[in-house]
Structure 1
Amino acid sequence: MTGMRSKWALALAMVAVLAVGPAVAAADGDGTVVGAGAIFQIGAGARPLALGGAFAGVSEDENALFYNPAGLATLGRPGLTSFYSTQYQVVGYGALGLALRKLGVGALYLNSPGIPGAGEGGEILPNFAYSNLAGLVGAATELGPVAVGVRGKYLLVRSAELVGGDEPDLGPAQGTGAALDAGALVQLGPVRLGLVVENAVATPIRYSTGAVEAWERRLVAGASVRLRSLLLAADVESVGGHSQYYHAGAELGLGLLALRGGITAPMGGDGEDAADSRELTAGIGLRLGSLQVDYAYLMPATLPDSHRLSLALRF
């Protein structure tokens, strides 16, 4: 009886997130800037990235914590995953996650050192760094064929503010904020359907300078189908109600080896702008006993190519 009560309590918590989220998001007043929490949209784990980011309807491994928390309820084995990359040869970005059956904790880190500084009048200022440190906690349960999950996020941002005077300089600035996400997964034979609502409830990021930054609502609907050794996946994503993208990917299992490919592109866009936003991906995975090694190669249309490597240890 206690276990059933905990399941329904988690389900009701997710429903509450979906119900009150719009009211909280609309409560942000004047002076609020939308766009916080972009670190959570970069993506973690080389396997999902090699699939073009199409993972909301898959979420069957440790990466569920980062893509759809409902997937934590269906994990077969606990796992520890780590990930690091140099974003476009400039920004350091990494992730660490521990996923257990129905529970998960993780962290994200982003650091961009040595950014050239310039004042309002074009004067040269000392170089400054911009960094994000984020923590995640997820929980999930199963209600019949449906898995539901919630994920809490805390973000710490460190940047710089312009200090005026006869000789303008850069001083430290810091901001913090938190948000709550909800996810669902349903298994229908070989087909899996997923839905994620990110930043459904959030407290704006408030900086020591007095600035306030709001979290953008992000909706992701995904589907996947497994046909023996072939996995096909696709996601549709809406960010802030103003940007829509699709993600599609495929994975072919060859024993201990897996080959992957994918694409991310804006929806409804044609011409040069859409082509400039398109990203092709490819990757490979190798299972060595309890160790999983995944590699992804990202090929943006305009930015430099980047390499992603992640390791997972399953218990």
Structure 2
Amino acid sequence: MRYVKIVRPGGPEVLALDEMARPDPAPGEVLIRVAAAGINRPDVFQRGGSYPPPPGASDVPGLEVAGEVVALGRGVDAYAVGDHVCALVASGGYADYCVAPVEQTLPVPSGWSDIEAGGVPETFFTVWTNVFQRGGLQPGERFLVHGGTSGIGVTAIQLAHALGAEVYATAGSPEKAKACEELGAVRGIDYRREDFVEVVKQATGGKGVDVILDMVGGDYVARNLEAAAMNGRIVQIAWLQGSRVEADFTKLMVKRLTWTGSTLRARSVAEKGAIAQELRTRVWPLLEAGTIRPVVHATFPLTEVVEAHRLMESSAHTGKILLVP
């Protein structure tokens, strides 16, 4: 099969197409003929040498796939050959075939294509565990997500809105701010021209927001403390502007805030499987009803993976960027 290898740590140009033997599924795994593989920021970090796969995982990048089941490992009875599934994987998605633990595999939502489903697992697993499990977002609460037109942002806006939250989102242009509102945000905030702290305080009568999902870090840390409401929760999932920060953390105490964070890739199969079951129960009906819709910005063949990564790094996209073998 064909796969994408990282020749050496570096920019998009270090990605190259190569060939290897098709993998066989181990007990408890399924083998998927990949119709689409999502590109995510962690792939960029892995390419640069700062986010290696967990011990024992493949060096092939790619954290999510969708496609047809073509082989079953011993003990797998949840699916049959020919079923169409999407899966969260620790690595290996940038290829013609990919193995996935059955616990981390979900059926392609009814009415969705395999290509649309290829952009589902990484963002939905991430948003569910961070916004709803760790952040505890409830119906009627106010929610702010940074990077509203990223894959994570698009998912967070739609899911929080569908489950009854009042959503605010930052984005890098007036057009992107408007796109956030079309997805369900009551206010898209152009962070290049507006101060999200002031916008949020004005929109909420000075109360602030109950939950913040942040992947920026840097000076956003202090500003998140300002934007958070009493008893608010701030969930950190990345540090695009750096993890070494200086801030006045008095507000953490005065407002009785919770500041937490998590990573997903290194968690056990059992932990990811538990997230998958909650998604199937709570979220899959929303996908199948059309309440939440796929937002695919662009697709690229494996041969154009370099261009796909350049687009990801440009942040010019809204929604998902997919490789389509």
**Per the shorter chain, which TM-score range?**
under 0.3
Which protein is richer in helix relative to its size?
Answer: 2
TM-score, normalised with respect to structure 1: 0.26
Which protein is richer in strand relative to its size?
Answer: 1
Which structure has the larger Rg over C-alpha atoms? Answer: 1
TM-score, normalised with respect to structure 2: 0.26
